[in-house]
Amino acid sequence: MTEAPVHNPLAQFEVYPIIPLKFGELDLSFTNASLWMVIVLGMATSLLMMGVRNRQLVPGRWQSMSEMLVEFISSVVTDNAGKEAMKFFPLIFSLFMFILLSNLCGMIPLSFTVTSHIVVTFALAATLFVGITILGFVKHGMHFLSLFLPAGTPWWMVPLMIPIELTSYFMRPVSLSIRLAANMLAGHLLLKIVAGFVMIGLLGIFPFGFLLIFTGFEIFIACLHAYIFTLLICIYLNDALNLH
C-alpha cells in the first residue's frame, strides 16, 4: 500500500522495543510483547497463589475460583488422555492459563494481544508437537509409526494412506498456531475497524452498539480458543501415549 491511511487498524499489532538491548546482530530488547507476557505471568501467579493462602475446607471466593480452574482442566486431561496423563497436568494447566490470560488481557483497551502473533503461538504449538512426538517414540519405540497406518486398510491403499496421514500429522502444529493467532488477529482487527466508524456523529450509535455486542462475543471467543488449544493438545497427547 503506497499511501498510509490516517487511522491504521493494523497499528495495534506493532511490536516496538521499550528497553533496547542489542548485542551486535542479536536483538534481545524488552518489547511491549515481553511486557504483556510478564503481566500475564504476574496475573496467573497471583491468581493461583492468592487462591491457596488460608486454605479452608469450605472455600472462599479466590480459592473457589482456583479450584474451579484446576478441576476443569483436570477433567479435560483425564477425559481425553486417560488417567495416567495426569503427570502432564502442570504443563497443560500452565499452557491453558497462559493462553486464557493472554487472550483476555488483549481485550483491555490500549493493550497488546500477545497471542495474536503467529510467532508466539507457533512457538507454543511447535515445541509441544516436538515434545509429544519424542514422548511417543520414547514410550513405544518404532511401533509409534503404526500411528500413521490405521489397522485394517487393504494393501493397495497403503501407499496412499501413509503420505496422507503423515501430512495431516505435520499439519497439526501449523493448524493449532494459525487457528489461535488468526482468531485473535481477526477479532481485534474487526473491533478496530468498526471503532473507526463510531465518531461520525449521531449515526455513530449503530457502530457503537455493534462494538458493545462484539466485545462480549470476543471475550467468549478468547476463553473458547484457550479451551480448544488445550483440548487439542490433550487429544494429540492421547494419540502419542495410547496409539489410537
Instruction: Summarize as ranges the residues that interact with other proteins (CB under 8 A).
Output: 1-2, 10, 175, 178-179, 182-183, 185-186, 224-225, 227-228, 231
> Measured from the CB of residue 171, what is the shortest distance to other proteins in angstroms?
11
Contact between 98 and 40 under an 8 Å Cβ cutoff? The reply is yes
Of residues 180 and 240, the one with the C-beta less far from other proteins: 180
Comparing CB distances to other proteins, the nearer of 169 and 208 is 169
Taking the C-alpha atoms of residue 214 and residue 222, their distance in angstroms, rounded to an integer, is 12
- Residue 51 vs 106, nearer CB to other proteins: 106
What is the three-class DSSP state of 196?
coil
**Nearest distance, CB of residue 228 and other proteins, angstroms:** 4
Kindly give, in sequence order, each residue whose CB lies less than 8 Å from that of residue 118, ignoring residues fewer than 6 positions away. Answer: 177, 178, 181
Q: Number of H helices and number of E strands within the chain?
A: 6, 4
Beta bridge partners of 19: 30
C-beta closer to other proteins: residue 162 or 228: 228
Q: Based on C-alpha coordinates, what's the Rg of the chain? A: 22
Minimum CB distance to other proteins, residue 137 (Å): 27
- The CB-of-11 to other proteins minimum distance in angstroms stands at 12
